[in-house]
Amino acid sequence: LGAGADGEVRVGFHRKTGDKVAMKKMYEHEYLYDTIINESEILEEVAHDNVVNLLGLTCNNQGTFMVMELMDGSLRDVISSRKLGEHDIKAVMRQILERLAWIHAHRIVHQDIKTSNVLVKRDGEKNKFVVKLADFTTARRLQTRPWSNKVGTLTFNAPELLKGATSFGTAIDVWSAGCIFAEMLLGSNPFD
């Protein structure tokens, strides 16, 4: 399905239900255990229909996997495949902001809001997109430890991150959401 800095996502099957699932294989690195624990704890803490559902963790001879609900794709896929109409843009943006408000109310900063981390599912009955936030690998609780400004994706990063700030809050996610809004309107990221 895709790959990022910390792992790759594949389609798998849930052993008990037989349902298709997304399996995020984490790349081996020094902080692998901490990364998995942090992401899984945050996903449990903010569990809601607004956030991709963590179904479990598993380890085998192929690696360590986070098992999550399977979505239809990412907002990046949607933008790449067609132009979004004004109605869709407003509906998607409203959902993104609602989801950010949800995680921010739980004192969580995502730190990597971008079109590839906003997953979509097509609601066939209503002909709408349902969006969920995903990839909480770099997410942090507000001010629980020193922050690194080397987070996120450059073309979605807030100015304070680019200037080297080590103290920041939820505003960086809101800036990134604004970049998503611009990308939906323009068809490409304005900072690419």
Q: What is the CATH number of the domain that holds 140?
A: 1.10.510.10
**What is the spatial distance between Cα 123 and Cα 100, in angstroms, rounded to a whole number?**
21
Query: According to the model, what pLDDT value does residue 126 have?
Result: 65
93 and 182 share a domain? yes
Rounded to the nearest 10°, the torsion over CA 47, 116, 175, 90 is -80
- 166 within some domain: yes
Query: According to the model, what pLDDT value does residue 127 have?
Result: 66
- 86 within some domain: yes
64 and 95 share a domain? no
CATH of the domain at 13: 3.30.200.20
**Marked catalytic residue, from 6, 112, 135, 173:** 112
Question: Among candidates 49, 48, 184, 19, which has minimal Cα distance to 123?
Answer: 49
Domain boundary among 69, 93, 121: 69
- 191 within some domain: no
Per-residue pLDDT of the chain (192 residues; tens, 9 = 90+): 777 767 789 999 988 888 999 998 877 767 777 888 889 999 999 998 889 999 988 888 888 888 999 999 999 999 998 778 899 999 999 999 999 999 999 999 998 999 999 999 987 766 688 999 999 988 988 865 555 545 556 555 655 655 565 656 888 899 899 999 999 998 877 777
19 annotated active-site: no
Rounded to 5 degrees, φ, ψ at 81 are -90, -20
- Sign of the CA dihedral with 79 first, then 111, 26, and 55 last: negative
**What is the spatial distance between Cα 48 and Cα 54, in angstroms, rounded to a whole number?**
10
Query: According to the model, what pLDDT value does residue 108 have?
Result: 94
**What is the spatial distance between Cα 93 and Cα 36, in angstroms, rounded to a whole number?**
29
- Sign of the CA dihedral with 37 first, then 29, 23, and 107 last: positive
173 and 91 share a domain? yes
Contact in structure between 139 and 38 (CB atoms under 8 Å): yes
44 and 98 share a domain? no
- pTM over the 0.75 mark: yes
The amino acid at 29: H
Domain boundary among 49, 69, 89: 69
- 30 within some domain: yes
Q: Domain count for the chain, please give it.
A: 2
DSSP letters spanning 7-21:
EEEEEEE-TTT--EE
91 and 65 share a domain? no
